[in-house]
Amino acid sequence: MKSIFKKFLVASVAAGSLIFIPQLYNSDTVQAANRRTSNTTETETPKRSTNFQAKRLSAEEEYKKGVKFYQKIQYEDAIICFSNAIQKDPSMVEAYEYRARSYEKLQQYNAALADCNKVIEFKPNDSACYSARGNIYFGMKNYDAAVADYTKAIKLNTYNNCTGYYHARGVAYYYLKQYNAAIADLSESIKRNNAAGGCQTYYYRAKTYEILKQYDAAIADYTKAIERDPDQSTYYYDRGLVYVMVNNYDAAIADYTKNIELRPNSYNTYCNRGNVYTMKKQYDEAIADYSKAIELNPKFIEAYYNRATVYSMMKNYYAAILDYSEIMIIDYKYVSAHYGRGMAYYNSQQYDKAISDFTRVVEFKPDYASAYYYLGKCYQAVNKTEKANKNFAKARELGYNG
């Protein structure tokens, strides 16, 4: 019987950003169960004792029940059934395979690994078994072990289709920060798929190119991924980041807008689009986006900080002070908020309040040179010359001359 690990499926975990974990299991569980209980065989099997066949039938029933539970995403119940099947028939390799999958779904990786090792004992020359164990190592973040198993799968090449194996190994290399190796494997996966490639393969190669600052290549691959899956919001988000890197702000805004269309509650995207509007000096649009981000996440410090910065650029110091103060409620030790509010107070000639904020800054961060400089400016403004000179001297000592 061919392994139920024959094909591959790439699963994703979305949490603001996309992470793909290579999965090389066969998703066709119904056919697997049917094959297991088929009444026709290619060769006649030896007859066994009535007692053995009774136990075997019971194992088959437990296995089929386990498959149904697995299909219903009831992994704990599935594990019980597969364990019963194994107890009744320790040679039922499919039960070990499915139990390994169930354990992996529950992130019980050590148990999954033990079952996968058992499967390899039964089928030591089956490439899919090694790729399945590679997936488990990947889930454990043991990327070196994952690479070793994917390499073994490629060498055995039981099914004459290594496209998924190269993809999985390329992703593992990506997380090992072996970027050239990652690009080589991801490119080989695309090549073996007749240049069609899966969207995830293009996506990971794009991310790798981005890290290597090969931005044109990254944009091209993100675009390929989008062509294959135009409803995947993360592709637009990440391509938008690269467009910012190459100063193509209009394209970045378009991608962030598409991301928001697909994920209207993405406060990070609103904040990023606000940043691009700020770069384009479209301050009203920037403030609108930061405000929406704050509405979606009232404790989003970055959005408050960036909105305060824009308010300061617009000389709306009162609004800036309110935002910096809100940050301090969320995190009092957020040094940049104290500094920013100090600057807003300084620019609005509220020198005593500015002195208080800059003093707090140098207490938190004694090497903050510009804070000493503006302390000096504030003391100078209120005619405290000695304190002013002392702080100017400290700023110069730290390399800041205003």
Is residue 153 within 8 A of residue 162, CB to CB? The reply is yes
Is 239's pLDDT higher than 90?
A: yes
Our CA dihedral for 176, 179, 180, 183, rounded to 10 degrees, sits at 110
End-to-end CA, the chain: 77
Is 52's pLDDT higher than 90?
A: no
The verdict on 148 and 9 lying in the same domain is yes
The verdict on 191 and 237 lying in the same domain is yes
Cα–Cα distance, 27 to 344 (Å, whole number):
59
Confidence band, pLDDT 50/70/90 cuts, at residue 402: confident
Q: Which of 129-133, 156-160, 287-291 has the lowest mean pLDDT?
A: 156-160
At residue 19, the pLDDT reads 31
At residue 55, the pLDDT reads 52
Residue 321 falls inside a structural domain = no
176-214: pLDDT as tens digits: 999 999 999 999 999 988 765 689 999 999 999 999 999
Asked whether the whole model's pTM tops 0.85, one would answer no
Q: Measured between alpha carbons, how far is residue 277 from residues 218, 242, 252, 270 in Å?
A: 23, 16, 10, 10
145-180: pLDDT as tens digits: 999 999 999 999 877 778 999 999 999 999 999 999
Cα–Cα distance, 118 to 101 (Å, whole number):
13
Q: Domain end: 159, 182, 212, which one?
A: 159
Least Cα distance to 358 among 378, 334, 387 occurs for 378
CATH of the domain at 175: 1.25.40.10
Mean per-residue pLDDT over the chain, rounded: 88
Query: If you ran DSSP here, which 8-state letter would residue 45 be given?
Result: P
Confidence band, pLDDT 50/70/90 cuts, at residue 50: very low
Residue range(s) defining the domain that contains residue 137: 1-33+54-159
Cα–Cα distance, 186 to 228 (Å, whole number):
16
Is residue 269 within 8 A of residue 241, CB to CB? The reply is no
Is 254's pLDDT higher than 70?
A: yes
Average pLDDT over residues 258-283: 98
Structurally, the chain folds into a number of domains equal to: 2
